[in-house]
Structure formats: structure tokens, C-alpha cells
Structure 1
């Protein structure tokens, strides 16, 4: 019986050594953790408790839809492209010593693009501010978690110090009233040791997360500083462009007499172009009506011949049997093929490629105040697209060349029919198509004319029958 008790005693003793070994190992880990925690980034190295940063307050955001970061990046690239393109065109117009409207148009385009770039940077900064707030919130939460973990760990250390010697642990085990209670107490000691290990590991992970968040925060602050610097420079560039615009306007105001003469010449050229287009459309409507009438008569004759051959009575033609196409119609009478072309043209609204590969809209559709002359209003029946010298002009859609004409002030003109739609390309230096020629989309029809001031500009119009349309809504947005 004494031998059995002695055996049980040694069994408990060895188990106790195993538990004690784990605890002592954990105490060494505790020492290492304390050393590590001292290296945690903080502003003060004193023994005082590190201040806990509160999470950043969430800012209220506007309900208006905002552009995504990908959209902002695309806009940024497009703005840079437009600025480079405008500079290239400006170099051409700036070769002339005297200021010109073409030069003024390019500067206005640059100002418009510059404003877009500044708005783009502001949006980037707004996104970055949100990212900064989110990162600061993460830093605050992580610091709070780290402080809580350290406090809990300190409590574990304090509790362990009370029973740190082997005698107390041995007494704790042998004070058990039964074998089962002793086993439970041994399990408790092991769990206690594991809890301290997990707590130390959690502290280490949290410190690593905090370090990463602080690094991200530093990077974001540096990026914001850089963006603010770029924004400041772009605002300076905008002021410089506005000064340049004012100088050109001032120089042009000294040329008031010549500008008035130029406006008169332009208005006369526009009137001649309008008359030409209206006459061509009217002639095409009449021609299509005659063709429709002829087709209707031919069809009636075929039907009558077929009826006579079959021995059926041939109906006597009456006034009601006349072809449906009226002679006074203001619309083009379309064949089935023409209807398909018109339908396809209308279906591509807003998707057409520009008639020139590079350039910008120097004057939009409709009535506009003259940029220099006070009280003078200019009416534009299409779009003026300013571009570089010798820029190739392309048709926006497949169709038939209806006319190739020349008008003073508009130079060479090409008019192309697309069913009941017509596109007009004016101010061409050269033309390489002929009347009646069938074209495909993006076929080159000529090159842009450059005037004496060095301005290369295309006049582009779209008509539906006899109605003038705004071309800007039909072209792809740049």
C-alpha cells in the first residue's frame, strides 16, 4: 500500500515538473515580450502609459455621385493628351507674329483642360483624405487593442508572480482533495501557460499591424503633400494661361476693323454654304421623289401585264392610284436600302468617330457672342474643329458623295448622303473624292485648309433632310 502511494506521489511529481517547465519557459517568453514592447513606436520612452489615439471621426460625405479612381486616372491621361495636342496646335498659330482668333481658341481650350486637371487633382485629394481617415481609424483601433492586450498580459504576469515558485505550485497540486481535482488543477496550470503564450503572440501581431498602418499613413501623407504641391503649380499655370488670354484679347481688340471685316466675310460664306446645302437637299428630295414615282409606275405596269397575261381584268387607273410620294415633300423618299442606311446612321448617334483624328471644338453649334467684338453675335450651323496643318479629314459614316463644291471663305466642300441624313465637310485644302463615289466610314476625303493666320480649322455639319442638327451630340465625347 505504501509502495502504491509512493508511485502515485512520483507520478504527480513528474507531472508537476512538466507543468513547471512550461511556466518557466513562458516566463522567459514574457521577458522577451517585454523587451519587444519597448520597441513599439511611441512618442515617449518613459514608463508612463502610452497615450491611446482615438479613432478619427467619420466625415459626412456628399450624396452627389463621385467618380471612381479608375475614371479619374483615365481623365488625367486624357487631359494630358489634350494639353499636348493644344500646345502642338498653338505652336503652329504662334509662328505668326500677329495675334489671331485661332491662337485665342487654343488658349481657351488649354484653360478648359487645365480646369479639368485641377478638378481631377481635387478629386484625388478627396479620395486620399478618405483613405487617410480610414488609416487613422485603423491606427487608433490597433493602438486601443494593443493597450488592452498589454493590460491583460500585465494582469497575467502579476497573477503568475504570486505562484512563481515551485513550492506554491506543488502545494496547490497536493492540496487537492481527490485525484480528479489534482488533474483538473494540472490542466488549469497548462491552460494558464498557454493563455500567456497566446497573449504574447497577440501582442506581437498587433504591434506588427500597428507598424504597417503607421507606414501606410506616412506614405499617404507624403502622397497628399505631393498632390497639394502639384495642385498649387497647376493653379499657377492656370493664372498664367489667363494672363496670356488677356494679352491676346487686348492685341485683338486693336484689330477691331479687320475683325469686323472678317466677321462679315464669314457670315457671307455661311449664307452661301446654307443656300448650297438647302439647294442640294431640295434637289435630292425631288430626284428621290421622281425615282419613287417611276418605280411605282413600273410596278403598276408589271402588275397590269401580269394580270392581262393571266386573263384577269385590268383595273382602270384613277387619281387614287397615283404614287404615294408627294411632289412637295420635304423628306427624301427612301428605298429599302436607303431606309436601312438612315436607320443605321440614327442608331450610331453619339458613337461616331471625329472627322479628324486630332483637334478640339473651337466653336460650338448655335449662336455665340464674338470673343472680342462687343455686341456681335455669330451663328454656327455646325462645329468648328481646330486641328493641325494638313490634318486628314475622314467621313464619319459610309455613304454617297452628293457634291464637291467650292465657296469663298469655306474653300472646298464635300457633302455626303447617308439615306435621309447628310454630312458636310467644309474648309478643305484638298479633296480626293468625286461626286457619286461610294465611301465607307473613316475613308479619307481630303485635308484641312490652313488660313493666312496659321489656323487649321474644319467646319462640320449634319443635316436630316432640310433640318440642321447639332453635330456634337452625334460624335464620340473626347
Structure 2
């Protein structure tokens, strides 16, 4: 392999690597911007619901949950914005390096082109092209000289086009660089505003926590009471699911002690469709945000207490309509003493739960469609809060709703 060919090969490899890097960075920047906008919308939803209930007296526990959630969202927004700014810094540095390299390359091209023009001019002065051809010893030599003149002329034109293209590329990179610097400046300015908001939220959080610590035992008792209520609901749900499983197995002629549903052909298709929509299911309310997530987590007030959440708690609008997240059959409308009603919907061997309702629009045995209204969320008259507790399970095994619901 000649040095010239090797040089071209290495140059091509470098360009390919650089293009791949730029494409990867652009994709990452788009992902970060999408995430940043999602977080901004989340903060907007929190602020709107806060403003709606501003005149109401919320419980200290509820306020702490609000502060904790907003602080976590603001923290994430700052992190994502910083990542964007850092990525832009790398892009700006890469572009500055490319501008430097292009300028050097352009200078070399211009020098080479100027040399060619001078050589061509001298050549024309020394002897005309016609004389250059007529002085050939034979036709073959004349033909070769003609080809040389043509190639030299083509090379001049190519060099001119290359210089023009490189100049345009340099101008475009400079334009992009100015845009990137502007975008970075805007991100930094926005981040300062978010950081100021975060400091305000943390200050209020600290003040509230200081008030709570002075009477911690009372709030701990409230948390324990809520956990007992949650366990009572979970026990009732478990009883209903086991009864539904036993019923399906009895109908199919299988052992009633089986821990899984005996599905009909139609139910198998429904379960398969439910699974294929994982991550794409609609929210059970039209507007809202997740106030408490899924899983075992420390209490926001007393870190020595562990809270077990089999689903998510969604803060939504007053009297918000509650929707089925997928086609299915209502297998339970539960009303318990001192606990607001809840609805259980079966989707093959998957089940969704809609708790803390004030009104129920369906009854056991009803077939429901995706996004069909099945009830209305309970709105606390004293605090103005409307919180939907939503869960998903496969048979009796709970699932994280955030893995199933679109952008939860």
C-alpha cells in the first residue's frame, strides 16, 4: 500500500469516526432535551395542583411528601441540564478543534492553488498550448500532452471547488458554534433559576421538618395507621384474586389450589396484548404526577420506619375521572369500612387496581375498554387533595406501574 493511499485510508477512517461521534452526541443531546422538557412539565403539574389547593390546609405528612417529590424533580432537572451543558461544552471544544484544522487545511489548499495558478500563468507565457502540442515528436506524444493539459485544468478546477466547499464548511461550523454557545448560555441561566427554586423548597422543607420533629411520635402514629389500612386493603385484594383464580381453575376442571389463572383462548390473547403494551399503557387519570413511587422505601418523616408500597400514588385534579388502562373485566368493586371504594380489573392474568374512589361507574362482571371512565377519584374536602392509588399485578405478584404506564 502506497503512502498516498494509506493517508487517504486513515483520513477516511478519521472522518467516519468523527461523524459517528457527532451523530452519537446529537442523539444524546436530543434524549437529554426530551428528558429536560418532561421534568419541566412535571414541575408545572406540581405547581398547578399546589396552586389549586393553596387555600386548603394539608396534613404535615402530605406537605412533606409534596416537598420531597418536588425537590427530587428539581434535583433531576438540574442534573439533566448540567449534563446538557457539559455535552455542549464538549461539542463546542470539538468544533473549535475542527475550525482550527479546517483553517490550516484551507491555508494549505490556497497556497497549493496559488502555486498552480502561477505555474499555469508562466507556462502560458513561455509557450502557447498549441505550440506545446505542435512541438510533439509524434501523434502519441501530442495525445499524451493534450491529456496532461486537460488533467492539469481539471485539477485546477477541483482545487477551486475544494477551497469553496471548505470555506462553506468553515462558515457553517462557525454558525453552529455561535448557536451552541447561545444554547449553553441559556441552559446555565435556566439552571440558576431552578437552583434558586430548589433552595427555597429545601428551606421550607427544613422548617417543616423541624416542626414535625417536635412532635414526631404523633406523626409516626399516623404513618403506622396508614400502613395498617394499606395492609388491610392488600389482604382483601389478595383474597379476591385467590377467589378469582380458584373460580377460573374450577371452570377449567383444574385443581382449585393452583396459584395461576386457567385462561381461555380469548383471555390468553388479552394477556398477550396487555404484555405487548408494556411501557405504552395510558395513565389511569388524564392529568397528574406520581407522588409516592412503588416499592419499599423509608418514611419521609421517620427514617426508622419502612413504607411498603404495592403501587403508586398519583396526585391529580379534584374529582378527576379514573380510567381503565386497558381492555378487561371488572372482577371486584370493593367497599370497606372507613376506606374509600376501589375497583379491580382483570386483563387475562394481569390485574389493575384503582383505589381511593368517591364514585364508581362500573360493577363486577362489566367489560371495560381502554380509557373508559370507571369512577371518580376521592377529593379530600379539608386538604383539597385528590390522590389515586394505582397498582398492577400478574396474578398475585405486584409489578412496578412505572414499567407499564407511558412515561410514568
CA deviation map 1:308-354 (0-9, x unaligned): xxxxxxxxxxxxxxxx5224333344444334433433443333222
Q: CA deviation at 1:375?
A: 1.8
Q: CA deviation at 1:428?
A: 0.6
More off after superposition, 132-141 vs 75-84: 132-141
Matched, 1:411 2:340: yes
User: Cα RMSD between the aligned structures?
Assistant: 4.2
Match of 2:242 among 260, 276, 282: 282
Q: Where do 5+ consecutive residues of structure 2 fail to align? A: 1-17
State the alpha-carbon separation in 2 of the partners of residues 156 and 275 from structure 1. 90
Question: After superposition, where does 1:32-431 map in structure 2 within 5 Å?
Answer: 67-97=27-57, 100-148=60-108, 151=111, 210=170, 213-292=173-252, 324-408=253-337, 410-431=339-360
Q: Report what 2:365 is aligned to.
A: 436
User: What SS does the corresponding residue of 1:68 show, helix, strand or coil?
Assistant: helix
Q: Where do 5+ consecutive residues of structure 1 fail to align? A: 1-57, 293-323
Seen in structure 2, the aligned counterparts of structure 1 residues 214 and 379 have a Cα distance that, compared at 3 Å, is closer
Q: Report what 2:384 is aligned to.
A: 454
State the alpha-carbon separation in 2 of the partners of residues 462 and 359 from structure 1. 18
Q: CA deviation at 1:179?
A: 6.1
Q: Is the contact made by 1:426 and 1:458 (CA closer than 8 Å) also made in structure 2?
A: yes
Q: What is the number of equivalent residue pairs in this alignment?
A: 379
Q: CA deviation at 1:427?
A: 0.5
State the alpha-carbon separation in 1 of the partners of residues 321 and 204 from structure 2. 30
Q: Is the contact made by 1:269 and 1:408 (CA closer than 8 Å) also made in structure 2?
A: no
Q: CA deviation at 1:123?
A: 3.2
State the alpha-carbon separation in 2 of the partners of residues 335 and 146 from structure 1. 73
Seen in structure 2, the aligned counterparts of structure 1 residues 158 and 471 have a Cα distance that, compared at 3 Å, is closer
State the alpha-carbon separation in 2 of the partners of residues 421 and 407 from structure 1. 23
Q: Is the contact made by 1:420 and 1:465 (CA closer than 8 Å) also made in structure 2?
A: yes
Q: Report what 2:401 is aligned to.
A: 471
State the alpha-carbon separation in 2 of the partners of residues 354 and 413 from structure 1. 17
State the alpha-carbon separation in 1 of the partners of residues 348 and 162 from structure 2. 75
Query: Structure 2 length as normaliser, TM-score?
Result: 0.75
